[in-house]
């Protein structure tokens, strides 16, 4: 049984930082590209960042570039999202997801497995 469990969310002031973690089990983690997505109230779930199975390459949405860093530790079956210079518009539930495909994909329906999400709230 595949499980993705996010942690690290919380309440932070604008300009602050948070580090999200996603621990994976039940799958061969090192074979999966991993992604982070977010969903704000009343909005569609959107892509944030993804990292290749090897950890050598990443790709981020424009909204995340220069502020968010995705990384992974295949020895710990964990993917991270370091979020800096947070803004109120970053407030959302953040989800990690796994994709077995070879290339990078940003579509929600391309990902095979999902976590339950962790709430991030940025106050102004």
Summarised one tens digit per residue, pLDDT across range 22-33 is: 999 999 999 999
pLDDT at 103: 84
Summarised one tens digit per residue, pLDDT across range 32-71 is: 999 999 999 999 999 999 999 999 999 999 999 999 999 9
Check if the beta carbon of residue 96 is closer than 8 Å to that of residue 2.
no
Question: Is the pLDDT at 19 greater than 90, yes or no?
Answer: yes
pLDDT at 101: 83
Composition of the chain by helix, strand, coil, percent to 5? 5, 50, 45
pLDDT at 100: 93
pLDDT at 102: 78
Cα–Cα separations (whole angstroms), residue 115 to 6, 52, 62, 67, 112: 6, 18, 23, 23, 11
Summarised one tens digit per residue, pLDDT across range 93-117 is: 999 999 998 788 999 999 999 999 9
Contacts of residue 3, defined as CB under 8 A and 6 or more positions apart, other chains included, come to 24, 25, 26, 115
Question: Is the pLDDT at 17 greater than 90, yes or no?
Answer: yes
């Amino acid at each position: 049984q595949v499980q993705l469990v996010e942690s690290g969310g919380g309440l932070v002031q604008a300009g602050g930082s948070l580090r999200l973690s996603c621990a994976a089990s039940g799958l061969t983690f090192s074979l999966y590209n991993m992604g982070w997505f977010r969903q704000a109230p009343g909005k569609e779930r959107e892509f944030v960042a993804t990292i290749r199975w090897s950890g050598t390459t990443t790709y981020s949405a424009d909204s995340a570039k220069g502020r968010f860093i995705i990384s992974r530790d295949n020895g710990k079956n964990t993917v991270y999202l370091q979020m800096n210079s947070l803004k109120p518009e970053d407030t959302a539930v953040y989800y990690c997801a796994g994709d077995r495909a070879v290339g990078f994909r940003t579509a929600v329906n391309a990902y095979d497995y999902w976590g339950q999400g962790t709430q991030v709230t940025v106050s102004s």
